[in-house]
Each structure stands twice: as C-alpha cells, then as structure tokens.
Structure 1
Amino acid sequence: MTDHKTAKRNSLLAGFVTAATAAGLAFWSGWLSPGDGEANAASGDVRVAASVCEAHELRAAKEEDPSLEIEIPSEFDKSWPSAGACRSAIAAGDPLAPGPIQPIPFSHKHHAGEFQIDCLYCHSETDRSQAAGVPSVEICMGCHAQFPADYDQIEGIRILKEKWENKEPIEWVQIHRLPEHVQFRHNRHVQAGVECQTCHGPVEELDKLHLVPDSHIGYLVPVAKLEMGWCINCHRQNNHQASQDCLKCHY
C-alpha cells in the first residue's frame, strides 16, 4: 500500500512539473518572438554615455575599436567640458596614482602643459616673496567664472564654485617642504632666472604632483632631490650670481 501511494504521489508531482513547465514556456513565448533574445543580447553590447565626459571617452574608444557600438544621448553630445578637462580631472583625482588626494583634483599637466599657463600667473607672489604660496580662489575663478556652465559636471569645478560662494579657502596639501633650518627665498631664484622645473621637476607633465622615494635618505623627496649637495653644486656652477656663504641659507 505504501509503495502504491508513493508511486501515485511521484506521478502527480511529475505531472505538475510538466504542466508548470509547459505553462511557463507558453507564457514567455507570448512575450518573446524568436529573434528577441538575440536583439536583447546585442543591445546589451551597446555602451551608452551617462555624461559628457563619458561621451568623450566612448568616442575615443570607438576610434581605437571601430567595431564598438556606442550611443551618445543628445543631452551629452556637447563639446563642454572638453575631453582634456575630463581626462585631467580623472587623472588628478586618481587615488591609485602617486601623491596625496587634494581637495580639488587639479592637473598641472592640463593647466601648465596643455594651456601653457605661466607658473607666476597662479603662484603670483613667487617673484616677490620668499614663499611661493598657492593661488587664491579668486585667481582660479578669474578664469573659471568665464567657462560655460556645462563645466559644472566636473566635481572639482563644483567644489571651486562652492568655495567661492562660501568665501572659503582651498586647503591644499603641501607637496614640497624643506627642513626648518633651511631658508630658501623663491624671489631671489626666480629673479636670477632659475626655472621652476629646476627644483620642482617637470610639473607641466604631471596630472598629480607627488614625491618620489629615495633609498639613500629613507623618505620621500621632490622629483628633484633637494639635498644640500645638490644646491651647492648649482651655486658653484653659477658662482657669479649665487653665493656659497653658509649664512645665506642657514640663519
């Protein structure tokens, strides 16, 4: 009797599964035509831009791979922000790249390299004071206030404008720092014709400023190794202008 009941239950269960499967297939066959599955798979390969910056990125990718299917919605089919601005903002804010994360992902490569903005335009006190200083929000807004509103899609631009509206300074993270017993005067060196890159390295080639490790002294240093011997050698090579008196730097 038990075997008979078990067989009957299994038979009913098998019938239920078969019926449910058939009903499910009938349901989905009413929604999908034979070609719909292939169409959906193909549409999944189309890369759709979700911002102007992504639109620039997709266009560049398609140039490298013409077979790539892309879609640029009309609201993102614009020239501003430029492809260079988008690229530099991403590179300058890359957490995996060497260097600290700044409050605004500022790219020296984009400003000093691509646009060839002179260092003294932003670091305006360098030729007149001991410290180079950093640009004020007012200096930054002198240019960026004239840019199209589309640039607000870049996070750094939005932060800059918020600082301007709230009358707050930008708290940049300092990169280059000399020991306290060294007195370095930027104005004397700039007035003597020393290029900024001599000490700070090729900043116009860097999206994100950083220090480099030095195995000899055991800590991070600027791209140019600002040791006493390095400074003295430069002074010796320019003996007609540069003093080698200890008290010129140590006082």
Structure 2
Amino acid sequence: MKIAIHNNKKPNTLKAVNYLYKNLKQSGFSFDVEHPDIVITVGGDGTLLSAFHHYADQLDRIRFVGVHTGHLGFYTDWRDYELNDLIRALKVDSGQSVAYPLLDVKVTCNDKRPVEHFLCLNESTIKRLGSTLRSNVYIKGKLFESFRGDGLCVSTPTGSTAYSKSLGGAVLQPSLEALQITEMASINNRVYRTLSSPIIVSSDEYITFRPSVAEDYVLTIDHIALNDRQVKQIDYRIADERIRFASYRHMNFWHRVEGAFIGSQDDEDGDR
C-alpha cells in the first residue's frame, strides 16, 4: 500500500505528521505523493478539501483518511492522539470504503475560453462584486425562476453542513443522490419574486444558471475562487465520480452533525 500525507503547516499538525512518517515507515509502508493508494490528510476539513482537489483526477483509485488536529473536522474520523490506532487499522486494511456524491460543475463563458469542468466536494457559488446578481435558474432545462440577490449556492449532501447550512439550507444525509440550491439575500417584492427557500433536486435532474452579461462575477468551487470569467452559463449535476473514504471506523453522519452543531446531550438526558 502506497501512502501520501497531505497536511497544513500548524505546529501540532507537523508533530502528528512527523510521527506518522516515522511509524508508518517502521511498519513497512511506502510513500508515493504522485500515485498513492491512501491519502492521509492531517489538519481539518480545509486540508481535506485541498487534498481532494489535488488528487481529483485519481478518485477512482484513491481512498482518503482524515486526521483532525484543530477545533472542528467534519470529514475526519481520527484525532491526533489516535495515530497508533490508525496505523493498526492500516495494517489490516482490506480495501473497505464509503463513497459520497460529488458535484459536477460545467462553466461556459461569453469569451473564447473553452468550456471548463470542475469537481466539487462541498459547494459552488456565484456572486457579483458590489452588484446584484441577476440570473435565470433552470431545472432540467426548464425555467424555474429569475433570481435577484447577492448570490446562489449549489451544494452536495456532504456540503449541506457547510456554507449552504449557514444560508438556511437543509442538512442532507450524504448517501442521498441530490443537489441543493440555497439563495443569498434574494430580492422579493412586487416586481421580483423567487421561491425564497432551499430547493433539493434529485440525481436525474440538473441545474442551470444563466446570469446577465457582466464581467465581475466571482465563481467558487469549494475553497477555490475564480474571478476572471465572463460567465454565460453554469451547469450543475451529480458527478459520475465519487470520493471514497477508507472506512476503518467511518463515523455515523448524524453523530458528526450532533457533535459539530449541538454537542453532547448526556447532561440533558440524565435530568429526565
């Protein structure tokens, strides 16, 4: 098994990384940052997102393992004080994994730039710099609404706990094959009307945004910002590719949600 370690540069992370390199090597593992079988991310969710985009062209053969060294790690199953347990799990690896849907983003521009495709783990957004976003929204090729507001967000089920949730979106179980549209400060009056509610779209449908002509669009793909596109059309659908996590003890999704946003209910339960 070939392993790559992808990490941030924080002191506690570097300490964990040094420990992993030393002990994985002693356990007989080899390292290959170009074509690994397992990518261990050490840091937090931002580190995992960075690793995902770095290895996006090898998703059919790579599994990810997340080690959490910060305050909140939604994609990470292991803590930095559990590295020996992780190494033991790697030693008896049998290829087990859990896979989650990804977002396929196709961007068409008004200039001569070729059509671009991106894979997205959490969400993609479109905004304008200092101006109202005006965009027609289509679902499966049919006009649904004409949006006016700060911006629009399309998220995956796993991304439903990130930016989309802060916009009032629903939290989706990640095994669902669905996309979600959430609005950013939509304008609703006698002239302009939108649904003004999160929209969940099934896997057999797709979403299209056709914004008005402008040169100040900011398009994001997870943590990556693109601000030099004269966007003509953006198409979103469930990608053919999946992200796979090595499921040595992959944490239950609702347990993650409870731990991240609610906290332990032990005290409350004990008082009943």
Q: TM-score range by the shorter chain?
A: under 0.3
The higher relative CO (CA closer than 8 Å, separation ≥ 6) is in: 2
Return the TM-score normalized by structure 1: 0.24
Relative to its length, the structure with more strand (as a share) is 2
Relative to its length, the structure with more helix (as a share) is 1
